[in-house]
Amino acid sequence: MEAIALSPLLIATTDTVLLARLFAAVSEPIRLQLLLLLLDREYSVGELVILTGASQGRVSIHLQCLRHCGFVTSERRGKYVYYQVRDERVRDFVQRAQDLVTDYSAELASCGVLNHEAHKS
């Protein structure tokens, strides 16, 4: 049997579990919505509650996830906590994803596997 040569990119990303977790961190619609808002400017939890229409508890939990995963940082000022995007590469990541959605929107919308997975949850 012939050995398969692995590309340097594949070797560099052998931990697919962590790579999948990166995508999972932004796969929840409310987390993605929060991240998109925070790309524009910093917001307090209360402001994000108003903008998303989600409960304070739900917003806080998802912000905690985004913070823990390294996407955003938080800063307490008086009685308010403000969140902002931590790394400019997050903006690039989201912009590239938006470009892919623009180019492949029909395919993404009609993918039977994704549709099936969405109905399993």
pTM, full prediction: 0.81
Which domains are present in the chain? 18-120 (1.10.10.10)
From 53, 54, 74, select the one nearest 63 (Cα to Cα).
74
Model confidence at 121: pLDDT above 70:
no
pLDDT over 70, % of the chain = 88
| Residue with more model confidence, 115 or 66 | 66
From 41, 43, 39, 79, select the one nearest 59 (Cα to Cα).
43
Q: What is the pLDDT of residues 64-86, one digit of tens each?
A: 999 999 999 999 999 999 999 99
pLDDT over 90, % of the chain = 74
Bridge-based pairing of strands 43-44 and 72-77 is unpaired
The residue type at 98:
Q
pLDDT score, position 114: 85
* Alpha-carbon torsion (50, 52, 53, 55), positive or negative: negative
Q: How far apart are CA 31 and CA 34, in angstroms?
A: 5
Model confidence at 9, pLDDT cuts 50, 70, 90, reads low
100 — alpha (psi -120 to 50), left (phi > 0) or beta? alpha
pLDDT score, position 23: 92
In the numeric block, which tokens belong to residue 53? 């229409």
